Amino acid sequence: MKALLQNRYLYIFCLFFFFTLAQFEITVSASEPQQTSTVVSADITTQTDSHESKKEESHGGMEPLFFIVVALLLGAAAKHFLKKSPVPYTVLLLLIGLALGATSKLNLFAGNFHTMDVALNWAGNFDPQLILFVFLPTLIFEAAFALDVHVFKKSVVNATIFAVPGLLVSMVITAAFAIACGYFNIGLEGWSWAFALMFGAVVSATDPVAVVSLLKELGVSKKLGTLIDGESLLNDGTSIVVFMVFFLGFTGAASGNNAIVEFIRVAIGGVAVGVIIGWIAIKWLKNVYNNAMVEISIIIAVAYLTFFTAEHFFHVSGVMALVAYGLYMAGSGKTKISPEVTGFLHEFWELAAFIANTLIFIIVGVVVAHQAVFTAGDFVTLIIIYIGIHVARGVMILLFFPVVRKIGYGLTGKQAVVVWFGGLRGAIALALALVVMGVDDKYIPLEIRNQFMFLTAGLVVLTLLINATTIKFVIKKLGLSDVAAEKIQLFQNAQKYLQENALSLVERLKKNKHIAQADWSLVKKYIPAVAEIKNESIQSNTIAEIRRRLLEKEKSSYWSQFNEGMLGAVAVKNLTDSVSQKLDEEGRISLSLRKNMEDILHMPKYLLRLNNISWLAWFAQKAFNNRLMLGFDCARGFIEAQEEVTVLFEEIKKTMTGEENEKIIEILDSEINENKILRGTFMRNLKKIFPDIYKALSTQHAIRSLLNHEKKMIEKLLHDGRIETDEAEEMITKVDEKIKKIMAMPLGKVVG
């Protein structure tokens, strides 16, 4: 309920949050001497005098806030009015930014539209390090936090192969294309191998926001989407680390360490910082219960603190630190966040990511229009490099395909094509290109910097305009979006069930004297239709699909029980992990075959042995009780989930007819009943062997049930208008304190 009450502040908070961070750029640019971020370099001047003067002119008042408001309105308009457009949202934003930047560069806003002109000048000269420090923590953390940790664990090796050695291979091949252009006098004549490799590192990092959202929309394998997302998360870090190795060499600020040693130090150091800070944050969150503002503030602040600490204090990869922190929170952290805060937290991060993406792509579009300098010949070079990055990515995937197809979930040939063609380039590449644009002529000549900026921006635009808009066609041509026959069959059965119920309702409504004169021929047009099954030649595997749906329901039940305070954090993690492993089998194995569940419910032998050692009795007894508590929690939660699974299966059975379906129903009924019997046996044995512990656990569960019922009744009283909002909040706070206390109470104190 608190989350619902606080949702009205969500949009205001996010807007204020990003504006405050953006205003930091004004303060930094106005102060002397200007400090440069450790992401960019240390103790080097990165802005030319003319660039500084433009920035100072544009920072006169509240124009940055005006730009942010206009950008968000334009983004919302594009999202709403162009939602049916085949062009992805991020592409639309980039085009809007380019149009605004071009209009500003032509001085069309000068005069009566001075405020808009100043606002666009501010955006056009946006500090590149601010793109990294303001937007990167939000985008990286949100992407990592939203990942399914179980799926990511099975995909992480493949993602790492593509993101580290794969990126290095792509970098070298892309650099070779750039050097070849110079060799054959097609442009880029002044590029050295070192500079070309730095360029290759920048443009080899992928940003698959549009592709992953499309995969979800088309219902393509979640495993493929996680692999693409995971690669992007990891190769952002790799790209920035490799870029810095070359960039600091150009600017004379290199550490002097071996490049490989420096890469390993920065990458592993970033992961270590992220894990340590994440561990501290989780310890703090464990002591907070059902306080949305405190918990979300901790998570937001720690995300930015992680990036800043890694970059500024330890001089390691802030991106790697953020990825580690985000994954740590997605795994261990989700069960430490108060259940009632979880929904509000996801809403916040979704909105924050939407705002960040909207602002960054529009700002980048304006920046490119303002700063890109090119000649007609540069377009020929751009086309060659565009082909080159696809050749590089294709060679990389082919090189590692024999390995990745056998690891984790594997990778099919068709999926590899999507991974190849869906390698879009995005904001990180543009931010790093802007860093290069900002260095002094004595480090990198202006002409070469302009080429670097134009090619990077051009590749981002082309991959978004060409790849992002045609990837849907590619996916459909490959057949990756085809719905399996068994899914179609189940869907048709559900439609028939809806149709029969609707017809029955119409017959009852005809007998209602108040509406008996209705035009029933028109009413019947709104009765649900039943779609015909296509792909009838495909052999149906209905039992596997039903098992998968029942497992998804079981998993959902565990989280619902956790959100209601009826299932502990450790139990929900173990149970959901158990279901995730079953889902990996894709419904081929019986629902009742669960070796991991049996391991959870059986007492480890080492604890039984420790119990017989007198000087370890206290420790052994505590560990023994904790294990029994976990077993009780898991068994009770499992039984509750099976009841919900049974209800769902009863509904599914109503839509299934025919002799073949009767056999399927018999098999699944048997599997569900076997699950109930096995967990019921554990509960009976616990009650028989450890009656005192069973009594304490039952009492604790009953108290939690009572307190949760009290919370629901308070919410009902508020909904009915019998109490005020502040009264309800105070009452719920007191109940939450009791729940927290009973959950932390040792078993010996539960029963006096």
pLDDT mean by block of 10 residues, the chain; 752 residues: 47 52 46 42 41 46 86 91 79 87 83 83 80 82 85 90 94 96 89 94 82 67 84 87 86 70 86 94 85 87 92 88 91 80 81 85 84 83 95 96 91 92 84 84 88 90 86 85 63 75 85 84 83 50 84 90 80 87 86 72 63 64 74 84 89 76 85 80 77 80 86 89 89 84 68 54
The distance from CA 142 to its chain's CA centroid, rounded to whole angstroms, is 5
Half-sphere exposure of 312 (CA within 13 A, CB side): 12
Domain 2-478, CATH number (from 1.10.1660.10, 3.30.1450.10, 1.20.1530.20, 1.10.10.10) = 1.20.1530.20
Torsion of CA 723, 726, 727, 729, to 10 degrees: 110
- Dist CA 579 CA 428 (whole Å): 36
- Dist CA 500 CA 485 (whole Å): 22
Residue type, 263: F
Cβ-based neighbour number of residue 608 at 10 Å: 11
For 128, the enclosing helix (H) or strand (E) is: helix 128-130
- Dist CA 382 CA 386 (whole Å): 6
Tokens 């081929």 -> residue: 588
| Number of separate helices (H) and strands (E) present in the chain | 33, 0
Claim: this prediction has a pTM higher than 0.85: no
DSSP three-state, residue 251: helix
Residue type, 92: L
pLDDT at position 18: 53
Distances from the Cα of 543 to the Cα of 170, 219, 715, angstroms: 44, 20, 41
**Contact 292/251 with Cβ under 8 angstroms?**
no
Strands (E), 434-580: none
Angle at 118 between CA 113 and CA 123, to 5 degrees: 125
How is residue 586 written in tokens?
Answer: 């894709």
How is residue 179 written in tokens?
Answer: 């050097």
pLDDT at position 214: 65
Q: Which of 740, 722, 743, 745 lies closest to 291, judged by CA?
A: 740
